[in-house]
C-alpha cells in the first residue's frame, strides 16, 4: 500500500469518505473512554491494598512513637528502604509528603525566595529585569511547565533526543547565559516518550560549564524503577555531580505514586549534604514533619528493595498487555499511512505519538467528539504551544484492555481523518 502522503487527491477523498463513515458509527455509540492522564488502573492499586491493613507496630526502630510529632526528614527505615532501592545514601534523602510534584514546587519556590548556597534569590533577578530561565527538554511533562509558569520562570524548549536532551544545545545555552538557572529532566522512561538518559548525557549534565554558579538540575526520576519491557540502568546523577566537583548541582525527586497509591504514597528529595541542610532549614519553618505513619506503612508492606522491585514486576505484568495493545493498534492501523510516528517505550506510563505537522489539535478534537479523551494537544510543550502541532500523549494504564482497544481504533481513525484533511488542505482542496 502506498503512503497516504503519496496518494492522489481523488484517492485521498475516497479514503476520507470511508473513514468518516467509520467515525460517524463510533460517534453514534456515545462512548466515554479516557486516555488523558497517567493513572494506575484499579487492579494495579489492588496490589497495594494490604498496605492499608492494620500496622504491625507504631514504634520505630529507634523507639520513636510514629503516631506523634517529629522527624522532619522522614523515618530512618523509610529513607534506608528508598535509598537502597535508588542507590542514594539515606542521609542525603528527605522524605516529603504525598507528592513529588509538591516537593518540586517547594524546592523551586525556596530557590526563588531564598536563593541557594549564598547566591541571590532567583526572584531578585526577575525584579531586576532578568527573569530566571529553565531549559525544558521537549516533549515533556506538562506539570513541570506549569510550576515554572506559576513562579514566573521562563521556559526554553530544547530537543529531547534518543538518549536524553540535545547536549550540544544545552551546553551552548547554559555556558553563555547566567540567567539560565536550571533544567527539568525525567531521566528514565520519560513522560511522554519513554526516553532513557545515557551515561554520556548524565556525565555531561553533571560536568558541563554553566554561566550560573547556582545552576540546578531538577532530576525527576518518577519512573526510576517502572520498567515494563526491559530494565534500563541509569547513572547516579548525585554521585556524578559530586565526582566532578559540582556536588550541589542536582536535586533528585522520586515518589511511590505509581508504585503504591497516587496521592497517598510517599515522595522524596535527595541532594548533596549542603543542599539537604539548606532544604531542612526551610522545611523546619514549613512543617513539624510529614506523615510518618504512611512512611511506616510503606516500610512494613515492602520491607526490602527486593520486594519493592518484585512488586514492580507484578505491575509490569499488568501493564505489558496494555502497552502491547496500544502499539499493535498503532502498527496495524497507522504504520502504512505515513501519517504518524510513535515511541516504543521500555517502561514508564506513556506512548508518545507525532502526527504529520498541523494535525494534533484536530485529532484530539475529533477523538473528544467521538468520546475518547486524550491529553490536550500542546500540553507536552511549555506554555501549551507545540510549534509543529504534532505531539499527542497516549496514557494506556487506566482503561481496561477492551476499552483500550476500542479507544485506539477510534483514535487511529481520528489521526487518519485529521491527516488526510491536512493533506487535502495543503493541495488546496
Ligand atoms: N513527575 C512525572 C514525570 C510524572 O509523570 C508524574 C505523574 N504523572 C509526577 C511527577 C507526579 O508525581 P507525584 O504523584 O509524586 O506528585
Q: How many residues does the chain have?
A: 429
pLDDT of res. 58: 97
What's the average pLDDT block by block, 10 residues per block, for the chain (429 residues)?
85 96 95 90 97 93 96 97 98 97 98 98 96 98 97 98 98 98 98 98 98 98 98 98 98 98 97 98 97 97 97 98 98 96 98 98 97 95 98 96 96 98 94
**From ligand 1's centre to the CA of 94, what distance in Å?**
17
pTM of the model: 0.97
For ligand 1, atom 7, which residue shows the shortest CA distance? Answer: 38
**From ligand 1's centre to the CA of 400, what distance in Å?**
22
Distances (CA, A) of 25 to 16, 100, 174, 319: 14, 42, 52, 29
CB 416 within 8 A of CB 385: no
- 3-state secondary structure at position 109: helix
- Tell me how far apart the alpha carbons of residues 216 and 210 are, in angstroms, rounded to a whole number: 10
- The DSSP secondary-structure symbol of 227 reads B
The full DSSP string for 303-355 is -SHHHHHHHHHHHHHHHHHHHHHHHHHHHHHHTTTTSEEE---SBSS-EEEEE
> φ and ψ at 18, to 5 degrees?
-65, -45
Ligand 1, residue 267: give the atom nearest the CA. 15
For ligand 1, atom 11, which residue shows the shortest CA distance? Answer: 101
Please list every protein residue whose CB sits less than 6 Å from any atom of ligand 1.
Answer: 38, 99-101, 141, 186, 191, 220, 222, 255, 257, 262, 267
- The DSSP secondary-structure symbol of 85 reads H
199-207 vs 167-176: helix crossing angle, rounded to 10: 0
Distances (CA, A) of 416 to 11, 20, 186: 13, 10, 31
**From ligand 1's centre to the CA of 191, what distance in Å?**
9
Of 45, 97, 100, the one to substitute when testing ligand 1's pocket (max ligand atoms within 8 A of C-beta) is 100
Ligand 1, residue 262: give the atom nearest the CA. 14
The full DSSP string for 143-177 is HHHHHHHHHT-EEEEEEEETTEE-HHHHHHHHHH-
pLDDT of res. 3: 84
Ligand 1, residue 98: give the atom nearest the CA. 15
For ligand 1, atom 4, which residue shows the shortest CA distance? Answer: 222
**From ligand 1's centre to the CA of 258, what distance in Å?**
8
pLDDT of res. 1: 58
pLDDT of res. 37: 82
User: Residues 6 or more apart from 424 whose CB is under 8 A from it?
Assistant: 9, 12, 13, 16
Instruction: Give the H or E element holding residue 384.
Output: none
**From ligand 1's centre to the CA of 349, what distance in Å?**
10
Q: Report CA torsion sign: 46, 52, 55, 58.
A: positive
CB 398 within 8 A of CB 42: no
pLDDT of res. 31: 87
Q: Where are the alpha helices (DSSP H) in 235-303?
A: 237-243, 273-286, 292-302
- Tell me how far apart the alpha carbons of residues 415 and 25 are, in angstroms, rounded to a whole number: 16
- Tell me how far apart the alpha carbons of residues 108 and 106 are, in angstroms, rounded to a whole number: 5
- Tell me how far apart the alpha carbons of residues 343 and 350 are, in angstroms, rounded to a whole number: 9
Cβ atoms within 10 Å of 93's Cβ, excluding its own:
23
Amino acid at each position: 500500500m502506498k503512503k497516504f502522503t503519496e496518494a492522489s487527491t481523488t484517492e485521498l477523498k475516497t479514503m476520507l469518505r470511508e473513514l468518516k463513515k467509520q467515525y460517524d458509527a463510533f460517534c453514534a455509540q456515545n462512548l466515554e473512554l479516557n486516555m488523558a492522564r497517567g493513572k494506575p488502573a484499579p487492579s494495579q492499586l489492588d496490589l497495594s491494598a494490604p498496605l492499608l491493613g492494620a500496622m504491625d507496630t507504631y514504634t520505630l526502630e529507634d523507639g520513636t512513637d510514629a503516631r506523634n510529632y517529629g522527624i522532619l526528614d522522614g523515618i530512618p527505615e523509610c529513607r534506608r528502604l528508598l535509598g537502597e532501592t535508588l542507590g542514594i545514601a539515606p542521609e542525603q534523602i528527605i522524605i516529603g509528603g504525598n507528592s513529588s510534584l509538591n516537593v518540586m514546587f517547594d524546592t523551586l519556590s525556596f530557590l526563588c525566595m531564598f536563593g541557594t548556597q549564598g547566591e541571590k534569590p532567583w526572584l531578585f533577578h526577575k525584579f531586576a529585569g532578568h527573569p530566571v530561565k529553565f531549559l525544558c527538554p521537549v516533549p515533556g511533562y506538562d506539570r513541570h511547565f506549569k510550576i515554572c509558569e506559576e513562579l514566573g520562570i521562563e521556559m526554553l524548549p530544547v530537543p529531547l533526543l534518543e538518549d536524553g536532551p540535545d547536549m550540544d544545545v544545552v551546553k551552548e545555552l547554559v555556558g553563555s547565559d547566567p540567567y539560565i538557572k536550571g533544567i527539568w529532566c525525567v531521566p528514565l522512561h520519560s513522560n511522554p516518550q519513554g526516553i532513557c538518559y545515557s551515561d554520556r548525557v548524565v556525565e555531561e549534565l553533571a560536568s558541563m560549564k554553566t554561566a550560573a554558579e547556582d545552576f540546578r538540575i531538577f532530576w525527576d526520576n518518577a519512573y526510576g524503577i517502572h520498567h515494563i519491557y526491559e530494565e534500563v540502568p541509569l547513572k547516579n546523577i548525585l554521585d556524578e555531580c559530586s565526582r566532578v566537583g559540582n556536588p550541589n548541582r542536582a536535586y533528585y525527586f522520586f515518589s511511590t505514586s505509581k508504585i503504591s497509591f497516587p496521592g497517598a504514597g510517599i515522595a522524596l528529595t535527595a541532594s548533596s549534604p549542603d543542599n539537604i541542610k539548606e532544604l531542612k532549614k526551610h522545611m523546619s519553618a514549613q512543617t513539624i514533619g510529614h506523615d510518618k505513619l504512611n512512611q511506616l506503612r510503606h516500610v512494613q508492606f515492602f520491607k526490602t528493595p527486593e520486594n519493592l522491585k518484585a512488586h514492580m514486576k507484578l505491575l509490569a505484568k499488568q501493564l505489558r498487555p496494555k502497552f502491547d495493545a496500544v502499539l499493535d493498534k498503532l502498527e496495524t492501523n497507522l504504520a502504512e499511512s505515513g501519517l504518524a510516528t510513535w515511541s516504543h517505550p521500555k517502561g514508564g506510563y506513556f506512548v508518545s505519538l507525532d502526527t504529520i505537522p498541523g494535525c494534533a489539535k484536530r485529532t484530539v478534537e475529533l477523538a473528544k467528539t467521538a468520546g475518547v479523551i486524550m491529553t490536550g494537544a500542546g500540553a507536552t510543550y511549555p506554555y501549551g504551544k507545540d510549534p509543529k502541532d504534532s505531539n499527542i500523549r497516549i496514557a494506556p494504564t487506566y482503561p481496561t484492555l477492551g476499552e483500550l482497544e476500542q479507544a485506539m481504533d477510534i483514535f487511529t481513525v481520528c489521526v487518519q481523518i485529521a491527516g488526510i484533511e491536512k493533506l487535502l488542505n495543503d493541495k488546496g482542496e
